[in-house]
Amino acid sequence: MSLSTHALSVGYQRDVPVLHGLDLDFSRGQVTAILGANGCGKSTLFMTLLGILKPRSGEVRWQGTPLAYGKQALRELRQRVSMVFQDPDQQIFYTDVASDIAFSLRNLGMEESLIASRTEQALALVDGNALKSMPVQYLSHGQKKRVAIAGALVLEADMLLLDEPTAGLDPAGRRQMMALIKRISESGRRVVVSSHDIDFIYEVCDYLYVLSQGRLLAEGGRREVFLNPAMLEQAGLVQPWLVRLHTELGYPLYESEQAFFAAASPAHYPHASKQKEAV
């Protein structure tokens, strides 16, 4: 399973390209980040990956060959690579959760008993079994996002593209999304996440592409990308707070908040306990 771009340029109007000569390979990591400020081209990239937009030059390659834009080829691609839009209302069409999730399977003419078990599995993965019989209009934004993800998972695609999965989520919803992405990647699927939520991306992604105004500014593993504050600033971003603790205060570099709080007890950091007393 491989999806990549080669010298990919995309634009909406004739003379103003939005993406410039991108070489990206989504099989480098299990969870790949497209990291960049608002307007850098993340959603445009995702729409191009799925063949909704066509490149101006360069190409998207699927399984090593240039994407074909015929109806049948695109339908096959979209069964293997599923996208979840930033706004779940763009994706949810039915008034009840189960029908919405089953929609794409009914479209394929799948047998009802199989649809029911697939729907059940997809809902379990997003921790959404309690939502199954709920009317969509009563769901919170975060619950709708999970339903939209279940709708993408139900096809059992090999790759999931999540466009700004934490946008509009409260802290609990954000934590839940983090656990959900880990669960999906552990189930063997590759995930691509677009975001400017730097602390979220730091904990979730293992390979990163940083975009600035449609150009590739940097790529690499977490250390390569996050230990470069000047580059992040150029992209309109900042270092994750766990990385700042390391670079600015000399703490070890922790990979997650959980690891930090488990290790950083006042016994290890006497100055931390003094500060606590002073408060």
H or E stretch covering 9: strand 3-13
Contact 122, 157 (CB under 8 A): no
* 190-195/31-35 β-pairing: parallel
Judged by CB under 5 A, the stretch of 35-43, 49-57, 124-132, 146-154 that binds Mg ion is 35-43
Gap between the Cα atoms of 45 and 39, Å rounded:
11
Indicate which single residue of 41, 142, 151, 165 sits in contact with ligand ADP (rule: CB under 6 A). Answer: 41
Go through 63-83 and write b for each residue having 16 or more CB atoms within 10 A of its CB, e for each that does not. eeeebeeeeeeeeebbeebbb
Judged by CB under 6 A, the stretch of 35-43, 55-63, 179-187, 222-230 that binds ligand ADP is 35-43
Q: Which is nearer to Mg ion, 58 or 165 (CB)?
A: 165
Number of continuous H segments (helices) and E segments (strands) in the chain:
12, 10
Please calculate the CA angle 178-183-184 and round it to the nearest 5 degrees: 100
Judged by CB under 5 A, the stretch of 36-44, 116-124, 136-144, 153-161 that binds Mg ion is 36-44
Question: Which residues partner with 11 through β-bridges?
Answer: 17
Asked whether position 113 contacts ligand ADP by CB under 6 A, the answer is no
Q: Which is nearer to ligand ADP, 34 or 125 (CB)?
A: 34
Q: Which of ligand ADP, Mg ion, none does residue 91 bind (CB under 5 to 8 Å by kind)? A: none
How many other C-beta atoms are found inside a 10 Å radius of the C-beta of residue 24? 22
Asked whether position 210 contacts ligand ADP by CB under 6 A, the answer is no
Q: Considering the complex, what minimum distance in angstroms separates the CB of residue 34 from ligand ADP?
A: 8
Asked whether position 43 contacts Mg ion by CB under 5 A, the answer is yes
Residues that bind ligand ADP (CB under 6 A): 12, 18, 36, 38-44
Residues that bind Mg ion (CB under 5 A): 42-43
